[in-house]
Structure 1
Amino acid sequence: MLDVLIRNGTVIDGTGARPLRADVAVADGKVVAVRPEIETRAARTIDATGLTVTPGFIDPHSHSDWSILGNRDAQSTIRQGVTTEVVGNCGVTYAPLTDGNAREAGAALAAFGYEGEVDWRSFGELLQRVHGGGTAQNLAWFVGHTALRDAAGIHGDRVTDDEATRVDRLLDEALDAGAIGLSTGLEYGSGRDATTAELTRTAARVARHGGLYASHIRNRDAHLGAAVDEFFDVARRTGLRAQLSHLNVRYDTGAAPDAWARAVERLDAEREAGLDVLADITPYPDGIGLAIGLLPAWLVADGPVRAAQRLADPEVRQQLRGDCDRYWRFLHRGQWDRVTLAVSPATPELEGLGFPEIAERLGRDPWDCLFDVLQAAGADMPAVQLMGRLFTPEHVADAVEHRLFCLGVDGFTSRTDGVLAARTRHPLFFTGHTHYLTHHVLQRGTLTLAEAVRKMTSMVADHFGLADRGRLVPGCHADVAVLDVAVLAEQDTSTYRQGTYAAGVPHVLVNGVQVVDRGVHLGARAGVHLRRSF
């Protein structure tokens, strides 16, 4: 007897093949048959007449490790059909930790709804904390390079032999505990101080474990070319399977008109030359950013508490107005209307407001408003997040369409109640995944539905080594999303109506267990920790 039988649906199996009218049979957590008119009895039958059955979506670039402890049911993402998320990206993970930075990690996680103690220190202990309590979705984890540096006590661009040895030990522990590889974030935090030589040395150790290397590269504006060169230099020297995170160019920031085209040509060439590399993209012209990334190294070198103290000095603020020309460089062109304050633990009354409105409310100019927010945050400065209008719609569509780009969201799972509800007022968190289908497939026609599904399922699973995921074929794990394409086609996923979840995905299975039934979250936490298979 089957556990689940999904009958009379149109199956898009994740391989890119043409849709097929078929039933999908599930037993013992696996897909056991995909063919028309399966007559075997089942404990649960889902009538998919008029619906489309696909593998569960896999987000190749998620930050749900920030919010999962406050949202184990993955409310906003599981309801979009997302059954697996690759987390630990951009160098930022909340392990490994030391006694010295555990309080800072706790404050950051509290901003994402976690109310417990931060009593873990190693990466393995963090995995035990997360997966010991269950999650609705599967998670595959990178360990963050910035976290490794911080835990090893590295400051600036010089690394002593003892510090390098500590990084090696912490990295080995994380990889042995089940991290799939190393992620870097080279635009903010201590990661931006790392030299190419340091990155290469650390990546080489990952290669010896057979892991992956994912990088938020050093620049995505005027110096994109050099940043891409550095990425490929590290990947080539170490022979790593590599992921170029959210390869895009922020508009009106000094980038050459053909900067992105040349970067993509390099991606193509390296792939053709044998390097196992892909990139990913986000669904909207908008994206999240860490506010501390705007600050120059001289201000943050001694940590956020000291940086906040120095922000009280008017002369320091005056110097910063010239020295903050980095990261979101359009702010130096006065384009504050492109930025909203998203997360600010010390000034929550300003969250969700654009900086022109904040400036009007406080009676100060936008630069001083930003400095006020960061100064008030103090030790919690790394938790301050911005939401910015970063890219042109045409640029996003070009990347979505490109054959070497997986489709990710670069957000985190949220919910419509509690702390997370107040800090996620953008559709990125609630309809980012379905936006690929509604906007880029059904409305704009950038991709066919079958190709979009492939880029959100098997393409990701194969590259990240997630065995037997991302396909609806016998023997694969039964991660399944059932889509109502007619409902999706009518949605406006470019805006967010507060208090609502995505519509158009009535049924979701994770490892053969139904988590969403007719749009209702059943509370099942069937997700598991995924390790790489190569």
Structure 2
Amino acid sequence: MQRCDIILQDGTVIDGTGATAQRADVAMEGGRILHVGDCSEIKADEVIDASGQVIAPGFIDVHTHDDWALLATPDMAFKVTQGVTSVVAGNCGISAAPFSAKGDLPAPFDVIPGISAGRFDTVEAYASAVTEARPAVNVRLLAGHSSLRASVMGADLERAATESEINAMRDALELALRQGAAGLSSGLDYPAALSAPMEEMIELAGVLKGHDRAVYTSHMRDESDTVIASVRETLETGQRSGARVVISHHKCAGKANFGKSVETLKLIDAARCGHEVALDVYPYVASSTSLIERFLPSAEDIKVIWSTPHPEQDGRMLNEIAADWGVSREMAVTRLQPAGAIYFDMDEGDLQRIMQHPAAMIGSDGLPGVDKPHPRLWGTFPRVLGRYVRELKLLELTQAIHKMTGLSATQFGMIDRGVVRAGCIADLVIFDPDQVADMADFDHPTRPSRGISHVMVNGALALADGQQTTTRAGAFLS
């Protein structure tokens, strides 16, 4: 009789491809899936009863800022407890590597705790740090445009890069890709990159063409009043550079822009006829980033989640703070700096329309390392399964799982992951489709989700019977 390490017995397998669910066992050996189907002729060291539950590929969080959290808090409880087995870090132009800049830098660098202590000249050095830290989940790293800019240009970022500076960034990006980076990310809506013209991005994104499955992800130049123009710019950057494109956390912020997703998605569909374009989205109508005065007009309400000079204001609404101080919102923002905030600035209709798009993946955009984060850090994936699949029936369960797994793995070059198939890496999650739900909310943002019983990372149990284990089997993925 054939032997294996673990058998997940009698579950409903949703394999991540979008295919119909099937009742099956899943056998694992040596960190890989050995067999999917009837495993009665296989002897296992451990058998896990999955009856009444779904067996799916481990969720892939395609939009994170976990670069430093993987090193500082390697248990990664906020990922493991929601079924995430792999993360894509280095988004919005900020990456831990390649990043050799010294000193203080403008937003959005201030939004990531640990950034001052953990800057790595090369992706290779960062990968070594990940290996030493032994995080509980896998990581795929993007090289951040703002990190490249700051490394080459220092703090002099309010201008376009010169030809020699672009060449230096191209060289650093080329090395990063050779050392395993997944591609290039940008954060053109922030002070660190606002002055970078499209031509600068085209020059850098062009480096990706020589690397299989490398991708350009963009937090676009604007997600509010000029969102349509920003989509056009992003798509043109991809077309002219030849780079595959992912539009980050696609949204239409501000009441005046509600409904514009109809047009932005039409633009994306037209571009997809001749070019590879995808997008990611999180299941909330509030965003979160640095507290920046320029972002105030698009938000109905703003919640301050951290402030270095005024930590006593953490968790309070900006309007209340301004009223207590007897100043305008703009003056309150100045006093609170540096600070982070949650902006209530989106429309549920746009969110649902974007989430349903066939090229839309799920990403949390969570910001770890603060006491009162946006609840998306802890609740994104169970929220999709509970609210948007079970309650609202916006997505079929197989469709939602595909957006969290197989589609994500394909877009970010994660070989042998994202699907439940013999020979693939055993990154798996078991959950109850009738119970899975996010428990984190804006008042209690760090409550773990419910309904997820087991999580396996590279064949090792990271979560068992709903409790996190001490096993940390994650790896740097190149």
1:370 aligned residue (333, 353, 367): 333
Q: Which amino acid aligns with 1:52?
A: V
CA deviations over 1:451-508 (Å, ceiling 9, x no partner): 100111101111111111111110111000000123226x666566466311111100
Q: Which residue of the other structure, out of 440, 453, 461, is the alignment partner of 1:506? A: 453
Change (3 A) 1:395 1:138: same
Q: Secondary structure at the match of 2:60?
A: strand
Kindly report which structure 2 residues correspond to 1:455-534, keeping only aligned pairs within 5 A, or say none. Answer: 455-488=403-436, 497=444, 500-531=447-478
Q: TM-score, normalised by structure 2?
A: 0.93
Contact 1:281 1:407 in 2 (8 A): yes
Structure 1 counterpart SS, 2:245: strand
Q: Quick one: structure 1 residues 167 and 405, their matched pair in 2 at CA, closer, same or farther if it must change by over 3 Å?
A: same
Give me the whole-angstrom Cα distance separating, in 1, the residues matched to 2:162 and 2:442: 49
How big is each residue's C-alpha offset from its partner over 1:155-202, in whole Å with a ceiling of 9 and x where there is no partner? 333322332232122212222221111000110032111011111111
How big is the shift at 1:117? 4.4
SS of equivalent residue, structure 1 residue 486: coil
Match of 1:223 in 2: 226
Q: 2:305 is matched by which residue type in structure 1? A: A
Q: What is the deviation of 1:123? A: 3.5
| CA deviation after TM superposition for structure 1 residue 234, in Å | 1.0
Supply the AA of the counterpart residue of 1:405: A
For 2:262, the equivalent position in structure 1 comes to 261
Alpha-carbon separation, structure 2, partners of 1:130 and 1:497: 30
SS for the counterpart of 1:93 is coil
Q: Distance in 1 between matches of 2:103 and 2:321?
A: 31
Whole-angstrom CA distance in 1 between matches of 2:101 and 2:342: 31
2:26–2:39 contact (8 Å) kept in structure 1? no
Deviation, structure 1 residue 237 = 1.0
- How far the C-alpha of 1:69 sits from its partner, in A, is 2.4
**Amino acid of the residue matched to residue 364 of structure 2?**
V
1:242 matched to 2:245? The reply is yes
Change (3 A) 1:372 1:421: closer
Identity %: 29
Aligned ranges for residues 366-445 of structure 1 at < 5 Å? 366-374=329-337, 377=338, 384-412=339-367, 414=368, 420=369, 422-424=371-373, 426-445=374-393
Could you say what secondary structure the match of 1:343 adopts? strand
* CA RMSD after TM alignment: 2.3
Matched, 1:330 2:284: no
In structure 2, what is the Cα distance between the partners aligned to 1:258 and 1:432?
23
Aligned residues of 1:435 and 1:494 also touching (Cα < 8 A)? no
Shift of residue 526 of structure 1? 0.8
Kindly tell me: are residues 128 and 198 of structure 1, through their superposed partners in 2, closer, same or farther at Cα, counting changes over 3 Å? same
CA drift at 1:116: 9.6
Q: Secondary structure at the match of 1:148?
A: helix
**Partner of residue 358 from structure 1, selected from 315, 321, 325:** 321
Q: Specify the alignment match of 1:317 in structure 2.
A: none
Could you tell me which residue of structure 2 aligns to residue 302 of structure 1? none
1:79-124 deviations in Å (ceiling 9; x for gaps): 111001111111012333336237999x958x74x59944643333
The structural deviation recorded for 1:145 is 0.2
CA distance, structure 2, for counterparts of residue 356 and residue 115 of structure 1: 30
What is the aligned partner in structure 2 of residue 94 from structure 1? 96
Q: Is the 8 A contact 2:148 2:172 kept in 1?
A: yes
TM superposition shift of 1:447: 0.5
> Aligned pair in 2 of structure 1 residues 524, 496: CA closer, same or farther (>3 Å)?
farther
* Secondary structure at the counterpart of residue 451 of structure 2: coil
Q: Contact (CA 8 Å) 2:288, 2:343: kept in 1 or not? A: yes
Q: Following TM superposition, by how much is the alpha carbon of 1:249 offset from its aligned partner in structure 2, in angstroms?
A: 0.1
Give CA-to-partner distance per residue, 1:223-269, whole Å, 9 cap, x none: 122111111111111211111112210132x43x6532111111111
The AA in structure 2 aligned to 1:173 is L
2:36 aligns with: 34
Structure 1 runs not aligned, ≥5 long: 295-323, 378-383, 415-419
The Cα of 1:391 is off from its aligned counterpart by 1.0
Aligned length: 472
**What does residue 70 of structure 1 align with?**
72
Give the whole-Å Cα distance in 2 for the aligned partners of 1:95 and 1:16: 34
Asked if structure 1 preserves the Cα contact closer than 8 Å seen for 2:32 and 2:423, the reply is: yes
Output the amino acid matched with 1:269. A
Per the normalisation by structure 1, the TM-score is 0.83
Q: Per the alignment, do residues 119 and 37 of structure 1 end up closer, same or farther by CA in structure 2, a change over 3 Å counting?
A: closer
The answer (yes or no) to whether the contact 1:76–1:502 under 8 Å persists in 2 is no
For the pair 1:340 / 2:341, whether they are aligned, the reply is no
Contact 1:21 1:36 in 2 (8 A): no
Structure 2 unaligned residues grouped into runs of 5+: none
Alignment match, 1:305 = none
